[in-house]
Each structure stands twice: as C-alpha cells, then as structure tokens.
Amino acid sequence: MTDRPDLLVIADAADPELDALASRAQVRRLHPASNGLAAALAEADAVVVWNCVVPGFEASFDEALAATGGLPRLRWVHTTSAGPDRLLFPGLLGHPATLTCSRGVLDVDMAEYVLTCVLALLKDVPATVRLQGASRWRHRRTRSLAGTRGLVVGAGSIGTATGRLLDAMGVSVDGVVREPRPAAAPFGALHAPGDLASIVGEYDVVVVTAPLTTATEGLVSAEVIAAMKPSAVFVNVGRGPVVDEEALLTAVKRGRLSGVALDVFTVEPLPADSPWWDEPRAIVSPHLAGDSEDFLLRLQGLLLEQLQRFTAGEELLHVVDAEHGYATS
C-alpha cells in the first residue's frame, strides 16, 4: 500500500490528458533524452513509458540498476503501447517490478486505422491525392470491400476489434492466433500460425495486428507473401519484424500484391533512403495507427484505474506474460 506513489512519466510531449494522474500520484515527467533519467528512475515507485521513446530507456534503466543495487523502490512499469516488445530487455525482465501494457485502449483506433488503409488502397486514395497535386481529373474504376474475404493475423484485442469492423463492412473474416480456439464472431475460423502459407491465398485483405514475440518474428515470411493473391491488399499495424519487409517490397514492385499499408517498420523512424517511401502501391505512415486524440482520454482512464489499484495494493490490469511476450488479458 502506497499513499501517493512517485510516478515517473517518460514522454516527449506534455499531454494535458495525463495531468489528471496528479490526483493519484506524485508525477514527474521527463523527456526520454534527459540526462536525469537514471537518477529519476532510482526515485520512482512506478514508471509510465511511451513505447515510441523507449530507445534511451534501456540504457538508463541498466545504469539505474547498477547505481542503486537493483532499483529497489521500483514496483511497476507501464507502457502506453499495446505491445510491450521494446520493454522485454534483460534488465527489466530480471527485475521484480510488474510490467503492464495498454491492452484494450488502442483497439478502436487501431481497427479504424486498419479499415482506413484497406479502403484507401481499394478506392485508390493515394493516386487521388497525387493526381490532385497535379490538378489532374482522371477517372478510374476502384474496388469494393463488401463481399471480400479478410484474414487478421493476431486475433487478440486489437485484431478482434479490427475483425468486427471488417465484418460490419460485409467482409467474411477469419483470424490467426497463437493458440487456436473455437471461432467466435467476428471470426468465421481461427487458424494456427503454421497454417498461414497454406491458407493466405484465399484472402483479399490480409492484416497483421500481432505483437512482436519470438513466435511472431518473421511470421509473414517470403513464403507466405508469395502465397498471397496478386489482387490482395496487405496492412501491417502490428510490428515491423513480424513481416519480411524485403520480400514484401519485392512482391509489391512485381505486382504480386495490389497494395500495402505499413504503419510499423523494423527500423523506426523509417530511414530517409528507404525504398518504401517511393513505392506508389504502398501507404507509409509513421506508427500513428493507435494515436488518436480519443486514445489519450482512454489511456488516462486506464492509468487512473491502474494507479488506484497500485495504491490499494490490488492486482494491476494487463500484466505482460513474459513467456508469451504480451498481455493475454
């Protein structure tokens, strides 16, 4: 039981939505590039970290571990991401603090972003924007989403929300999950990851919402990509390394896929010399799928709930299962 825990928020922006945390904690916010990060970690009972700013976090964490003999005060680390992959480094994995993630609060926005990408590809929106830039009126035929078949790779919290929206659009949706269970709406069938290459050719829309774990790294392999329909559209909002990006680029360039939308990459930010930027059949976005204004309000709600539980000594929500590499509930 902690009355008003010392909470360190590591973020590069001061989001007013997070001001509310001050009602339940002594909040200190630091920029991830701050020199004082290791010292601040040593004085924190709990840490909230934005996944996108994690790179400096591991080094500071290790420095603080060494300086304090194991960060004895720290009891909780929360990532604002749904996928905790970047926090699964040895120093934190070996520390007794509870690691939690933002499962659930990104679902609606991620699902909406996936649908945005699928529709933008089918309705040729990137070409529309480019033609507009050239003041050119050029009529084209586009494609319908209703009546197609969709596959969501990673039928967890975000994947299920995505499946629901696709289903509502008249798409017949199946899923891929680590441990296949009986299919329930919105999924007509749930497949095992090992079956991906043999089934993926049946789908018009293939979406990756899977977290990055030892089991998903490279899951969408060159073999899987080669088995996709040439008319298929592919969207990745999970994690870059789940997909063989080089094989995907080759497939897109050769017209063996009609379009792709990538919000995540193995290297982020995507380097300025990446060939993806110039690919007209690709929509390249900067890891923004879940980041709506509403997400911050939902995150605020989750963090207030977590702080109440933390202060009362109750079990936290969305604890990361180190074996799976994500939160299973």
User: For the CA atoms of the chain, what is the radius of gyration?
Assistant: 21
Using DSSP's 3-state secondary structure scheme, residue 257 falls into: coil
From the list 63-71, 82-90, 123-131, 215-223, the region that binds a copy of itself by CB under 8 A is 123-131
Question: Does residue 144 touch a copy of itself according to CB under 8 A?
Answer: yes
From the list 29-37, 41-49, 96-104, 271-279, the region that binds a copy of itself by CB under 8 A is 271-279
Question: Does residue 146 touch a copy of itself according to CB under 8 A?
Answer: yes
Among 292, 309, 316, 324, binds a copy of itself (CB under 8 A): 292
Using DSSP's 3-state secondary structure scheme, residue 140 falls into: coil
Sign of CA pseudo-dihedral 236, 221, 268, 233 = negative
Shortest Cβ 235–a copy of itself spacing (Å): 13
Question: Does residue 287 touch a copy of itself according to CB under 8 A?
Answer: yes
Among 54, 152, 169, 225, binds a copy of itself (CB under 8 A): 169
Question: Does residue 253 touch a copy of itself according to CB under 8 A?
Answer: no
Question: Does residue 130 touch a copy of itself according to CB under 8 A?
Answer: yes
- In the window 20-79, what residues touch a copy of itself (CB under 8 A)? 52
d(CA 28, CA 44): 9
Beta-carbon neighbour count of residue 52 at 10 Å? 18
| Sequence-ordered list of residues with C-beta below 8 angstroms from that of 66, at least 6 positions apart, any chain | none
From the list 37-45, 104-112, 207-215, 219-227, the region that binds a copy of itself by CB under 8 A is 104-112
Closest CB to a copy of itself among 116 and 311? 116
Question: Does residue 288 touch a copy of itself according to CB under 8 A?
Answer: yes
Question: Does residue 85 touch a copy of itself according to CB under 8 A?
Answer: no
What separation, in Å, do the N-terminal and C-terminal C-alpha atoms of the chain show?
A: 24
- Contact between 53 and 83 under an 8 Å Cβ cutoff? The reply is no
| Sequence-ordered list of residues with C-beta below 8 angstroms from that of 77, at least 6 positions apart, any chain | 46, 47, 49, 87, 92, 97, 98, 99, 100
From the list 28-36, 238-246, 288-296, 302-310, the region that binds a copy of itself by CB under 8 A is 288-296
Question: Does residue 285 touch a copy of itself according to CB under 8 A?
Answer: yes
User: 58-66 contacts: CB < 8 A, separation 24 or more?
Assistant: 58/89, 58/91, 58/92, 61/89, 61/91, 61/92, 62/91, 63/38, 64/37, 64/38, 64/39, 65/91, 65/95
From the list 179-187, 250-258, 290-298, 312-320, the region that binds a copy of itself by CB under 8 A is 290-298
Shortest Cβ 170–a copy of itself spacing (Å): 8
133 CB-contact burial (10 Å; exposed 0-12 / middle 13-18 / buried 19+): exposed
DSSP element (H, E) containing 233: strand 233-236
Contact footprint for a copy of itself (CB under 8 A): 52, 108-109, 112-113, 115-116, 119-120, 122-123, 125-126, 128-133, 135-147, 165, 168-170, 268-270, 272-274, 277-278, 282-288, 291-296
